[in-house]
Structure 1
């Protein structure tokens, strides 16, 4: 029992080291990660169709067809709304800049009329500056998210093709991956994989 626990601990350390390595080359592996996630999602559906006598390749294409229809409906409903929001965002920004300049001029005139103490004036302008920076930060984060999503588009295009071969040749890939490991660790890896699958599919 202790020997098996030690082997599982060593496997976890190896997995952690592999995770660190993958982190540093994550930009290269993004299509493969998306493909692996997609393959994990559709594999039970493919197996279900296979159990009804459908060939694996046809089962994969059937699942892809259903997913394409589902995603098409989602895109049809939400993409126009997203473009409208982006258009509103572009229209709001100039108005925001004009409003900010007008507000700053107003507070300058107010300060000169009321002769506010310098400390009060500094607190007031600091608060307004913080609000402005918060709004700009939110706009910048929104733009960065949009650019990041667009930059992932090639990965999302490649991923279904990779996932197809992952599911189609799952047994060969599984056998090849286990062949890399030392024989005395293979059983533990299978046990960990099954336990992880049970946890994530609950």
Structure 2
């Protein structure tokens, strides 16, 4: 057992492309099966979907990337002015609370709070920079994921049969049923959640573009990525979006808040019930607790995988309980 754990630790870098491949495979699986029913071979169906995906990506980069780069350049140009404005607000606040008559204990509390806030902002900036650097350094893993996903999709039945042969005959039927339920939940969650996040990003970017924001593309991307985190994602994404809008004007910041609220209402009332439904079959309280625990234990990665892991845990515990009761 110790040897197996040590081996898994040594080969941990391969888990990143494997995870990406699994997510891509789950996302494409329904479309691959639909094309297969229409007479396409599985390999051809996968390659067709890859070609369509590359075409969409190329068009997106052709039209979106130049605008995104312009927005980033403008943001960098305005960053010194924005930093000076924030420093002016902090200095004004500092001058106000340093006036005679303010209790020393309250001053000390404010000083400590400001120092803590500054430290967290610096940590957040370093983490964001590290994440961006990690994306570029992990380019090999990103490129490897579609290759691995191709073979996962193409040979999924063969892999499944071989895995079943490794199990004792008495366990095969039960574990096959368990895996079928887990596969159903993961397929629904991954496909639905990615689609909802894409639509949230598009709707947010469109709304801010119509409101006249010069950072509409960047803000749409931020909100789409943040929406991958259940419940807390919209709040996490709203902070930089509103801050970027405030750099332009308070009016635009107010519009940004309105767009975010409207898009979240659309997601809650229309998109999530129709697309995601009850795919993970967890209560809202269980989802919130899972996200909090995942973020505390594993950071950003924990926030992203907490809900499907909790859903799998529910299925496994239900399976074990049913076996215990039946015996």
Normalised by the length of structure 1, the TM-score is 0.66
Moved more, 43-52 or 146-155: 146-155
Q: Distance in 1 between matches of 2:182 and 2:89?
A: 57
| Equivalent residue runs for 1:28-67 within 5 Å | 28-67=14-53
Equivalent residue number for residue 160 of structure 2 = 174
CA 130–87 in structure 1, closer or farther in 2 if over 3 Å, else same: farther
| Equivalent residue runs for 1:6-155 within 5 Å | 26-76=12-62, 78-80=64-66, 82-84=68-70, 86-87=72-73, 90-91=76-77, 94-95=80-81, 119=104, 122-155=108-141
Equivalent residue number for residue 10 of structure 1 = none
2:175 to 189, 192, 195: 189
C-alpha displacement of 1:61: 0.8
Q: Distance in 2 between matches of 1:107 and 1:172?
A: 66
Q: Distance in 1 between matches of 2:113 and 2:78?
A: 22
C-alpha displacement of 1:121: 5.2
Q: Distance in 1 between matches of 2:97 and 2:36?
A: 77
Q: Distance in 1 between matches of 2:39 and 2:95?
A: 81
C-alpha displacement of 1:160: 0.7
1:47-96 deviation line (CA, Å, top 9, x unaligned): 21122111222111111112223333444455445545554564466556
| Equivalent position SS for 1:144 | helix
C-alpha displacement of 1:46: 1.6
C-alpha displacement of 1:125: 3.8
- Unaligned residue ranges in structure 1 (runs of 5+): 1-17
C-alpha displacement of 1:182: 1.8
CA RMSD of aligned residues (A): 3.8
Normalised by the length of structure 2, the TM-score is 0.44
